[in-house]
Structures are given as C-alpha cells and as structure tokens.
Amino acid sequence: MAKVIMTADDSTSIRQMVSFTLNQAGYDVIEAEDGLDAADKLAGIHVDMLLTDLNMPNKNGLELIEWVRSMPRFKFMPIIMLTTEAETEMKQKGKAAGATGWIVKPFKPEQLLALVKRILR
C-alpha cells in the first residue's frame, strides 16, 4: 500500500511541487495550507510522514510539530522540516519540538525524494 505523506506549506507552488514529486514516486500526498489545516486533516487520517514548512499562518510549523508529537499515534512518525538556510535557530527549535530532520530550500525534487525514501525505507 502506498505510504501517505502530508505536506504542510502556505506556498501553493511548493506544495504542488512536493505533491507532484512524491506522487510520481508512488506516494499518496495530502496537502495542508497551514498548521491549523494540517492539524485538522491529521485528526481523521493515517499519515506515514509529515513534511512541514516552518513559517506558516494560523499555526506555524513549530506549533504543528509539537502538536503532532503530543498525539500518541504520531509519536514515532518522521517529521521533516522545510527550512531556508537562514533559519538555523528555527531548525534547532524544530528539533527540540520533535522534528526528525530537515531539508534546506531551495532543493531539487530528486533531493526531496532521496530524503523521503531514505527515511521511509
């Protein structure tokens, strides 16, 4: 069965690129446009991995990670942050909140795919 990955990002173009890349590789992708939307959608479905932006309206990435980690059924789920190089501090906070790792924007689709495949192997 195809693994399900959620991408939470307020940028439509990035979300689409992530979706398209992962779909091509056979993953099922669920898009969320901000942290709140992600939390809403996560409530009802099974997800194998979360890719989240850090700066988002309504509930930012850090809050989303903390919330997800507090849910028993997601306590071991891999969470990858999409960060920009300037956000070293945010990266640390994200790790402290329970993120598994990160990928630095800009990234190429194949880099994203390599990371996802590696973590979900």
Partner 1 sequence: MNESNRFIEEFCHEAEELLSGVEDAVLDIEENPGDQEAVNRLFRAMHTIKGSGSMFGFDAIAEFSHHVETAMDKVRNGTVPVTKTLIDLILVSRDRITAMLAEANGDGPPADPREGEKIIASLKALLSSHGAAAPDENPPKETPEQASEPAKPVQQNQAVYRIRFSPDPDIFFTGMDPVILLYDLADMGECSVVAQTEKVPDLENLSPESCYLFWDIILTTAKRINAVKDVFVFVEDKCKIDIKTVEEEVITSEQMPGPRLGDILVERGDIDRKTLDKQFGTRKKIGERLVESGALSKEKIKSALNEQTVVSKMHKSAAASTVRVPSDRLDKLINLVGELVINQARLTQVASNREDTDLGESVEEIERLTGELRDSVLNIRMMPIGTTFNKFRRLVRDLSSQLNKEIELVTHGAETELDKTVLERLDDPLIHLIRNSLDHGVEPPGLRELKGKPAKGTIILSARHKGTNVVITIQDDGAGLNVDTIRQKAVEKGLIPENAELSDKKIFAQIFAPGFSTAKEVTSISGRGVGMDVVKRTIESLRGRIDIDSVPGEGTKITLILPLTLAIINGLLVSIDDDFFVLPLMSVEECVEIKSKEIEMINGRNILNVRGDMVPYIRLRDRFHMGNRRPEKEHIVITDVNDSRIGFVVDHVIGGHQTVIKPLGPAFKNIKDISGATILGDGTVALILDTNVLLESA
Contact yes or no for 61/52 (Cβ under 8 A): yes
**What are the structure tokens assigned to 11, written together?**
């940028």
Among residues 46 and 105, whose Cβ is nearest to partner 1?
105
Contacts (Cβ under 8 Å, ≥6 apart) of 94: 54, 61, 62, 65, 81, 83, 102
**Shortest Å distance, C-beta 41 to partner 1:** 18
Among residues 44 and 85, whose Cβ is nearest to partner 1?
85
Closest CA to 81 of 36, 35, 44, 45: 35
Among residues 40 and 88, whose Cβ is nearest to partner 1?
88
* Chain contacts with partner 1 (rule: CB under 8 A): 1, 10-14, 16-17, 20, 24, 53, 55-57, 69, 75-79, 82, 84-86, 88, 95, 98-107, 111-112, 114-115, 118-119, 121
Question: Distance between CA atoms of 7 and 29, rounded to whole angstroms?
Answer: 7
